[in-house]
Each structure stands twice: as C-alpha cells, then as structure tokens.
Chain A
Amino acid sequence: ETGVTQSPTHLIKTRGQQVTLRCSSQSGHNTVSWYQQALGQGPQFIFQYYREEENGRGNFPPRFSGLQFPNYSSELNVNALELDDSALYLCASTPGGGNTEAFFGQGTRLTVV
C-alpha cells in the first residue's frame, strides 16, 4: 500500500460528457502527477501539481485540466470526453524536491462509450 488513494475505481461515461477523478496523496507529499495509461502502453504524463500550482504539462489538450488543494489532494477533470479517452488514469505523489520515487494509486479505469 502506497497511501495514495484514487476514486472512483471504475467509471463509465458517454462521449461528450465531463468527468472528475480524485486523488489523495501520501501524507507529506506536496507534488502530484497524473498519468493516462492505455491498454498495453506505458503511463503517459498529463500534468503535475506542486503546492496547488500546475508546474508541468504533457502533450494533452486543454480539455484535460486539474486542481490541487491545500491538503495536496488533487482532481483531474476531462471535458468533452472522446472514445480515445478510455484508459487507466493514475495519480502519483512524490515528496517534492527531487522526484526519485513516485508512489502510485490503484488508478481509475475510465470507459467512454
């Protein structure tokens, strides 16, 4: 157990809808990163939050957005869902000041139909 929890574990949405995924980081970790993992692929970096500010973004469109709260928990929001958004969404927390080890949650399996 890493201490990182994500909710919900599974979700089914219709194309065009919006979704919010949640992540509680490990205690003491002020940095949260979100990844998208398609079946059979590696985790793709979406963005990272450090002390409530986005401080890095991967190659994802603006309809992928996020928030980090004062307790360092985080949300990933995806608008105008597309079929290709179906994937496992992983949240990883690190203590900051050098991300040598990321602690992952179990992920949210999103299916867009």
Chain B
Amino acid sequence: GQSLEQPSEVTAVEGAIVQINCTYQTSGFYGLSWYQQHDGGAPTFLSYNALDGLEETGRFSSFLSRSDSYGYLLLQELQMKDSASYFCAVRNRDDKIIFGKGTRLHILP
C-alpha cells in the first residue's frame, strides 16, 4: 500500500519558523514534493527533493532523508499569507504523484 503521514494542523506565530513533517510508505520512490493550497484555490508547487539533503527556495526549505522515508518543509519568517494547507506528495515508481492528507497551518498575529 501507499501512505503519507503528516500532522493535520500546526499553529505558529507571525515571524516565527515552523516545520511540517512527512513520513511516507510507497510503491517505489523517485522524489518528495510539497504543495501549498489556500482555501478555495488550487495546489501550487513549492519544492521537490529527489536526493537526501536540504533544498532552499527563499523563505521555504525542504529536506529529505530517503533512508528514513522522511521529509519536512521548513517555513521561515512566517507571514499571515502563509496560512494555508500544505501537502507532501511522493512521485512513486509508476511516475504518479500521490498526496498526503495535508497539514493546515494557522498563523497567529
């Protein structure tokens, strides 16, 4: 079977740093992606990790450990506009993108 586990909700304060974890179990693995989705909107791509290590894109960073089947998304200098749902997604051996259930990020002023 295939499963991706991530916390259902996370709350953080504006200006702070937050980490959203994801563990996965899938039929083969090519890489881990992260997507952001605002209420009423479509998921938008944030990052992709195929190899172990940290990828940084502005305020957002994503980490992957293939041996641990684990990754995380790190959001720094949180802004109110970062309030959204965040999904980890695995590209499996069939080259399909499979999503987790999502983490709703609440940001307090």
Q: What chain A residues lie within 8 Å of B95 (beta carbons)? A: 56, 98-99
Do B33 and A101 touch (CB < 8 A)? yes
Do A101 and B43 touch (CB < 8 A)? no
Given contacts A100-B48, A100-B91, A101-B33, contact A48 B96 (CB under 8 A): yes
Residue from the list B45, B94, B98, B102 in contact with A41, Cβ < 8 A? B102
Do A45 and B43 touch (CB < 8 A)? no
A interface, size bucket: 20 to 34
Question: Chain B CB within 10 Å — which of A41, A100, A105 has the most?
Answer: A100
Do A105 and B42 touch (CB < 8 A)? yes
Q: What chain B residues lie within 8 Å of A40 (beta carbons)? A: 102
Q: What chain A residues lie within 8 Å of B33 (beta carbons)? A: 100-102
| Interface contact tally, CB-CB below 8 A | 57
Do B96 and A41 touch (CB < 8 A)? no
Return the chain A residue nearest B4 by Cβ: A42
Do A43 and B43 touch (CB < 8 A)? yes
* B41 interfacial by beta-carbon distance below 8 Å: yes
Cα of A1 to Cα of B41 in the assembled complex, Å = 11
Q: What chain B residues lie within 8 Å of A44 (beta carbons)? A: 99
> Quick one: CB contact mask for B72-109 with A, threshold 8 Å, 1 for yes?
00000000000000010001001111111110000000
Residue from the list A2, A101, A103, A107 in contact with B48, Cβ < 8 A? A101
Do B102 and A2 touch (CB < 8 A)? no
Q: What chain B residues lie within 8 Å of A81 (beta carbons)? A: none
